[in-house]
Amino acid sequence: MSFSIGIVGLPNVGKSTLFQALTRKQVNTSNYPFCTIDPNVGVVAVPDGRLDKLTGVLKPEKVLPTTIEFVDIAGLVKNAHKGEGLGNQFLSHIREASAICHVVRVFEDENISHVAGKLDPESDTETINLELIFADLATVDQRLEEVRPKAKTGIKEAKEQLPVLEKIKETLEAGKLVNTTPFSQEEEILVKELNLLTSKPIFLVYNVSEQDIQKYDNKLAISARLEAELSELSKKEAQEYLEEFGLKEPGLSRVIKKAYQVLELITFFTTQNNILQAWTVPQNTKAPQAAGRIHTDFEKCFIKAEVINWKDLVGCFSEINAREQGKVRLEGKDYLVQDGDVIHFKTG
């Protein structure tokens, strides 16, 4: 089970700079449109202060944070859905992502050209949204061409799909994203099957100048340039640099946290073979499926799970103390794993 975030936006908005800072992976960030033709992919360790506190108590030989994948997708332009700027190729890359991180340029820089010739964050956001909407309309129209004649002949599946497709088409033609429209559980099955771009979770990241970060408290704003500089510093130097700008944590941490939020993901921990490891699963994942995240055989052979909340474990100073104080509990197959659980899976 892997989760990926596609980073999109117009050319020269700072996508590749953000990606480079996220992954510390050197990619081409040259100042010209479409410098990113093939998507760059990087696996990023998810920052989690709970690992540090658990490490202080458990003293593991190795600590393995959970990870999430970021994909730097080339800049989209107006009419990308028609193939402008190699748009069709780029849209296919977005379709493979679990969620979309839309980078919007807010910073001024006369040395970095804007594809539209002027800075207009609202218009830029609308351009990207419309391209995603138009691409989805093409997908839905194609499916409608297949379904309508079958529905007229009385085929049950087609008759059931037709009103859902028409509902999606109506949403898109109104200029709305599919993820803003409520669907029943039955309707969601078809929506997921279509794998529409605008049905994915989408969140905006405003790329601002270093001096303007504080002005965007109510939005997810970062300075990709600042983040790139921070990624080259030691942990201590980076913290001191952040404090100069009045920031508590890197913007990249907030981007990753937002990705987890929109994808409705949680983290649980295991401590096997003196290895403390974090794992990612969707909310409302049952214990056997969480065990299967570690190894497929664990799900098949699941018997029970020994569970303790990470705060309780840290507060007890050791697993032995936690057991003596009755903080460790046994859970069965129907247990829904909670964020921050430390779990020992028992299999047979």
**What's the chain's average pLDDT?**
87
pLDDT band at 76 (very low <50, low <70, confident <90, very high): low
If we measure between CA atoms, which residue out of 129, 267, 144, 255 comes closest to residue 194? 144
- Quick count: other Cβ atoms within 10 Å of Cβ 275? 13
- For 205-231, how does the pLDDT look when each residue is reduced to its tens digit (9 = 90+)? 999 988 888 787 778 998 888 888 888
- 4 is an annotated ligand-binding site residue: no
Give the residue with greater pLDDT, 328 vs 21: 328
**What's the confidence (pLDDT) of residue 35?**
39
If we measure between CA atoms, which residue out of 279, 268, 310, 287 comes closest to residue 68? 279
**What's the confidence (pLDDT) of residue 116?**
65
Strand 275-282 to 329-331 pairing? unpaired
Instruction: Give yes or no for a contact between 255 and 101, defined as CB atoms under 8 angstroms apart.
Output: yes
- 15 is an annotated ligand-binding site residue: yes
Is the pLDDT confidence value at 25 over 60? no
The single residue listed with the structure tokens 């300075």 is 223
pLDDT band at 88 (very low <50, low <70, confident <90, very high): low
Instruction: Give yes or no for a contact between 269 and 344, defined as CB atoms under 8 angstroms apart.
Output: no
Tell me the CATH number for domain 284-347.
Answer: 3.10.20.30
pTM of the model: 0.84
The single residue listed with the structure tokens 């640099």 is 241
**What's the confidence (pLDDT) of residue 36?**
41
- Quick count: other Cβ atoms within 10 Å of Cβ 148? 14
Question: What are the boundaries of each domain within the chain?
Answer: 284-347
Instruction: Give yes or no for a contact between 16 and 105, defined as CB atoms under 8 angstroms apart.
Output: no
Distance between CA atoms of 191 and 139, rounded to whole angstroms? Answer: 11
- 14 is an annotated ligand-binding site residue: yes
Report percent pLDDT > 90 for the chain: 57
Instruction: Give yes or no for a contact between 220 and 255, defined as CB atoms under 8 angstroms apart.
Output: yes
Highest mean pLDDT among 29-33, 64-68, 117-121, 204-208: 204-208
- 111 is an annotated ligand-binding site residue: no
- 13 is an annotated ligand-binding site residue: yes
Give the residue with greater pLDDT, 113 vs 77: 113
144: CB partners within 8 A, 6+ apart: 162, 165, 166, 169
| 3 state DSSP class of 303 | strand
Q: Give first-to-last CA distance, the chain, whole Å.
A: 23
